[in-house]
Chain A
């Protein structure tokens, strides 16, 4: 049934559109957009979006759906529902499953599961090396034919520089890009949070920013040498942003992403403060809850200066996109000693709310923010039918209320992963509805979906 979105503020960075108007989605595609659109003759659905933003559906270049192999953490069914609640209509899911996505059957499994149980689009990412073991290249051609959109050993870097060089060179045969998790394992070894005064305060082993920057520098050198497309995952340090800036100035084919948590939280979160409470008086003594395993993530939350540099790099276009690195875990993986807890934040459902903090604080322009979630990732994917409201493009739309306040309640997540340091935090900016291929994938209870005939409209 056609779906008419009425009276919202339509924002589409791909066309530079910022207007009050209506949007009609029919047959799974964007069919009309304007101040007033022609109303369909047949029965149709209406969503009244007054006071809300209507944007292209968000694209997440980096998330972990955990299936197959880790269904206790997430499944394609629960992960795509979490995505829909977060405004995402397209997910690129990482290959560190069990078995890893390093052969055709694994790709097809994800695709079939997504078709049968998913509520948003799932685009699998394949491994760079067989078994993610960092020793031999996967059959990239077979994976490309099966439909992977990129290759990554995410969770681990490709430590062998020669192998990385060949993988980049060989990937040029296909329309694939490589996503690198930049971490020099010899330098990060044993680390569980950013190396800095907080790690010293807590007696935890740190991961220095250089562990990331060394690999960013290496991979940029290899991208320059091979001419292959390189995408840097979850950039977390000011130094990495500088390296990427210089690489782009030289015309090297590199793109980069940053997560909502690295844009909004600092290492102080591990001690239970920081983030939006950062102006609060810092107690000299530690709270009982100070070793917050929900703030344990790789790369780790960094310093205030890093956060500022990442925001600047994003605004300048040095960092191309925002990706969640949604990394759900079951409760017991976090209910333990900090050293033993799993790395990762369940991020799909809090992404928009936390990113809107940056808009409300005037740190980033709303249109720029939306472009980082829509048209920019679509460009990296070479999929011009996504991340846009151009007529004829996929009927993927996100509707959110920029002013709505809500308190994060992890127990109400659609994701199986309740692992977020934002539990109990007040966020301003809430997804009200997510439409994927013309179907309502998620709708907030406060928003009414009406089925009406032409005559009944207003």
Chain B
């Protein structure tokens, strides 16, 4: 009897009838309403209960096949999705660009069509070119989840960041969030800008001018503040999110040296003390400890970086649940 009960979804999971949309794809956070984000939060809250059970499995996606199609290396996103899907009883196929016909020059559209023909219901895709998930979503009848596309978007990372912030602060509304570093190349920053502002946060971007994208003031964007001085940006911050600084940026001429970047933009204990006393430190990973963040801060009392990874599974379970019944 006990086993049977454990196989059911927790009662706290909102019913599918309560879904705020008939969503088919998750491509970016720009089209998520506040209600939809709240629905994901509530579902994730309930999914956490499943993760605490002895048998971490419910039958919601039994008989469904999820394919992870990764053209770029990834540890946490791919494994997190695999875990989330398995917890929901989906079958999971992992495909990476090496070891498939992608290496023989098969086009992206053909690859997606092949996966569809093989019975995929959901494709989670990471690609180094912006827009690649949109391309396949146009050509297949499968649900597509963007697991990160070029410098464009990483919606599931954005949602788990939001979820982590909400868990600690109680609400995102009114929170002051500082995102530091390579905004120009960061899909995480872009998705967070959409999600955070939609939930009522104030977003401050802090970076040297060479790492800030152009046109942020255009009417099509949410309102954000750009503050090049880290000390000033951190004053009164509730949440601080340093981004990974890829070492290639120095070669690309965007920065003189990593040494100088560290001097002006590294999040260390002194700078952390400029924010609110209990300010949260998030990082989308993978970290370059000693560059954008010191090990003391990364593993300090205010860091919720490891927690982000754990929360990621519950949030992705919630997102997969959100897609149930979304495709015809």
Interface residues of A (CB under 8 A from B): 195-206, 282, 284-286, 288-291, 332, 335-340
A291–B134 CB distance below 8 A? yes
A332–B107 CB distance below 8 A? yes
A196–B215 CB distance below 8 A? yes
B130–A200 CB distance below 8 A? no
Measured between beta carbons, the chain A residues less than 8 angstroms from B127 are 337
Q: Which 7 A-B pairs have the closest CB atoms?
A: A197-B215, A203-B152, A285-B31, A291-B131, A197-B218, A203-B130, A203-B151
Does B27 reach chain A (CB closer than 8 Å)?
A: yes
Which one of A199, A204, A332, A336 lies within 8 Å of B135 (CB-CB)?
Answer: A336
Does B57 reach chain A (CB closer than 8 Å)?
A: no
Measured between beta carbons, the chain B residues less than 8 angstroms from A203 are 130-131, 149-153, 187, 190
Measured between beta carbons, the chain A residues less than 8 angstroms from B18 are none
Contact (A198, B215) CB under 8 Å given A203-B190, A332-B107, A336-B109? yes
Measured between beta carbons, the chain B residues less than 8 angstroms from A289 are 134, 138
A-B contact pairs, 14 of them (CB 8 A): A197-B215, A197-B216, A197-B217, A197-B221, A201-B221, A202-B131, A203-B153, A286-B31, A288-B134, A290-B131, A291-B135, A336-B135, A338-B130, A340-B129
B214–A200 CB distance below 8 A? yes
Does B290 reach chain A (CB closer than 8 Å)?
A: no
CB nearest neighbor in A for B139? A335
Q: How far is the CB of A211 from chain B (nearest CB, A)?
A: 14
Does B95 reach chain A (CB closer than 8 Å)?
A: no
CB nearest neighbor in B for A290? B134
CB nearest neighbor in B for A268? B220
Q: In whole angstroms, what is the CA distance A337 to B135 when docked?
A: 7
Measured between beta carbons, the chain A residues less than 8 angstroms from B219 are 282
B27–A199 CB distance below 8 A? no
One digit per residue, 1 when the CB lies within 8 angstroms of any chain A CB and 0 when it does not, for chain B 66-106 equals 00000000000000000000000000000000000000000
One digit per residue, 1 when the CB lies within 8 angstroms of any chain A CB and 0 when it does not, for chain B 213-244 equals 11111111100000000000000000000000
Q: How far is the CB of A424 from chain B (nearest CB, A)?
A: 15
- Given A201-B218, A201-B220, A339-B129, 12 more pairs with CB closer than 8 A: A195-B214, A196-B215, A200-B214, A200-B216, A202-B131, A202-B152, A204-B130, A282-B219, A284-B30, A286-B134, A291-B131, A337-B108
CB nearest neighbor in A for B186? A203
Q: In whole angstroms, what is the CA distance A195 to B215 when docked?
A: 9
Measured between beta carbons, the chain B residues less than 8 angstroms from A336 are 107-109, 135
Measured between beta carbons, the chain B residues less than 8 angstroms from A196 are 214-215, 218
CB nearest neighbor in A for B150? A203
One digit per residue, 1 when the CB lies within 8 angstroms of any chain A CB and 0 when it does not, for chain B 143-179 equals 0000001111100000000000000000000000000
Does B182 reach chain A (CB closer than 8 Å)?
A: no
Does B132 reach chain A (CB closer than 8 Å)?
A: yes
Q: How big is the B interface, by class?
A: 20 to 34
Give the interface centre of B134, B137, B219 by most chain A CB atoms within 10 Å: B134
CB nearest neighbor in B for A201? B220
Interface residues of B (CB under 8 A from A): 25, 27-28, 30-31, 107-109, 127, 129-132, 134-135, 137-138, 149-153, 187, 190, 213-221
Give the interface centre of A195, A284, A288, A335 by most chain B CB atoms within 10 Å: A288
B214–A199 CB distance below 8 A? yes
Q: How far is the CB of A167 from chain B (nearest CB, A)?
A: 30
Q: How far is the CB of A209 from chain B (nearest CB, A)?
A: 11
Q: In whole angstroms, what is the CA distance A286 to B30 when docked?
A: 8
CB nearest neighbor in B for A291? B131
Measured between beta carbons, the chain A residues less than 8 angstroms from B135 are 291, 336-338
Q: In whole angstroms, what is the CA distance A288 to B190 when docked?
A: 18
Contact (A200, B137) CB under 8 Å given A332-B107, A336-B107? no
Q: How far is the CB of A445 from chain B (nearest CB, A)?
A: 34
Measured between beta carbons, the chain B residues less than 8 angstroms from A202 are 130-131, 152
Which one of A197, A337, A338, A339 lies within 8 Å of B220 (CB-CB)?
Answer: A197
Q: How far is the CB of A406 from chain B (nearest CB, A)?
A: 26
Q: How far is the CB of B301 from chain A (nearest CB, A)?
A: 35
Measured between beta carbons, the chain B residues less than 8 angstroms from A332 are 107
Q: In whole angstroms, what is the CA distance A435 to B189 when docked?
A: 57
Q: In whole angstroms, what is the CA distance A336 to B130 when docked?
A: 11
CB nearest neighbor in A for B130? A203
Q: In whole angstroms, what is the CA distance A399 to B137 when docked?
A: 44
Q: How far is the CB of A281 from chain B (nearest CB, A)?
A: 11
Q: In whole angstroms, what is the CA distance A290 to B218 when docked?
A: 18
A288–B138 CB distance below 8 A? yes
CB nearest neighbor in B for A283? B31
Measured between beta carbons, the chain B residues less than 8 angstroms from A291 are 130-131, 134-135
Measured between beta carbons, the chain A residues less than 8 angstroms from B215 are 196-201
Contact (A284, B130) CB under 8 Å given A200-B216, A339-B150? no
Give the interface centre of B137, B213, B216 by most chain A CB atoms within 10 Å: B213
Q: In whole angstroms, what is the CA distance A324 to B258 when docked?
A: 47
Measured between beta carbons, the chain A residues less than 8 angstroms from B28 are 285-286
Q: How far is the CB of B148 from chain A (nearest CB, A)?
A: 10
Measured between beta carbons, the chain A residues less than 8 angstroms from B218 are 196-197, 200-201
CB nearest neighbor in B for A186? B253
B214–A288 CB distance below 8 A? no
Measured between beta carbons, the chain A residues less than 8 angstroms from B187 are 203
Measured between beta carbons, the chain B residues less than 8 angstroms from A338 are 129-131, 135
A337–B131 CB distance below 8 A? yes
Contact (A200, B213) CB under 8 Å given A291-B134, A337-B129? yes
Measured between beta carbons, the chain A residues less than 8 angstroms from B221 are 197, 200-201
CB nearest neighbor in A for B107? A336
CB nearest neighbor in B for A200? B213
A282–B220 CB distance below 8 A? yes
Q: In whole angstroms, what is the CA distance A442 to B268 when docked?
A: 72
Q: In whole angstroms, what is the CA distance A340 to B129 when docked?
A: 8
CB nearest neighbor in B for A332? B107
Q: In whole angstroms, what is the CA distance A286 to B220 when docked?
A: 11
Q: In whole angstroms, what is the CA distance A286 to B31 when docked?
A: 8
CB nearest neighbor in A for B218? A197
Measured between beta carbons, the chain B residues less than 8 angstroms from A286 are 27-28, 30-31, 134
Q: In whole angstroms, what is the CA distance A335 to B31 when docked?
A: 25
CB nearest neighbor in B for A271? B220
Q: How far is the CB of A143 from chain B (nearest CB, A)?
A: 37
Which one of A195, A285, A337 lies within 8 Å of B30 (CB-CB)?
Answer: A285
Contact (A335, B130) CB under 8 Å given A197-B218, A200-B216? no
Measured between beta carbons, the chain B residues less than 8 angstroms from A284 are 30-31, 220
Q: In whole angstroms, what is the CA distance A337 to B150 when docked?
A: 11
Measured between beta carbons, the chain A residues less than 8 angstroms from B220 are 197, 201, 282, 284
Q: In whole angstroms, what is the CA distance A335 to B152 when docked?
A: 19
Measured between beta carbons, the chain B residues less than 8 angstroms from A206 are 214
Give the interface centre of B30, B127, B131 by most chain A CB atoms within 10 Å: B131
CB nearest neighbor in B for A267? B215
Q: In whole angstroms, what is the CA distance A204 to B213 when docked?
A: 10
Q: How far is the CB of A135 from chain B (nearest CB, A)?
A: 26
B30–A335 CB distance below 8 A? no
Measured between beta carbons, the chain A residues less than 8 angstroms from B217 are 197
Q: In whole angstroms, what is the CA distance A325 to B249 when docked?
A: 35
Measured between beta carbons, the chain A residues less than 8 angstroms from B31 are 284-286
